[in-house]
Amino acid sequence: LLSNSLYHLTLFTFFLALVHFLSEVFIYRTAALTIGVMAPLMVASFSILGMLIGLQYLEVEALSQNKKKN
């Protein structure tokens, strides 16, 4: 239960970081699209993709552990 909550919290944090940097570049225009801004955008994007893929395995594992208990 704790690891599942922590996983979702981490995923939310990457979404928050992605939205923050995208808003700095495209909405507020306070940052230029340089390597210094592109690096966190890429890290957040790839992390979100990886975590969404991993979330499927986390849910499958939770279901299999639930079946073992019953």
pTM score of the predicted model: 0.83
pLDDT tens figures, 10-40: 999 999 999 999 999 999 999 999 999 999 9
Q: Which domain holds residue 23?
A: 1-69
Residue 21, amino acid:
F
pLDDT tens figures, 31-69: 999 999 999 999 999 999 999 999 988 888 878 887 887
Q: Which residues contact 3 (CB under 8 A, 6 or more apart)?
A: 58
| CB 44, CB 21: distance < 8 Å | yes
Q: How many domains is the chain partitioned into structurally?
A: 1
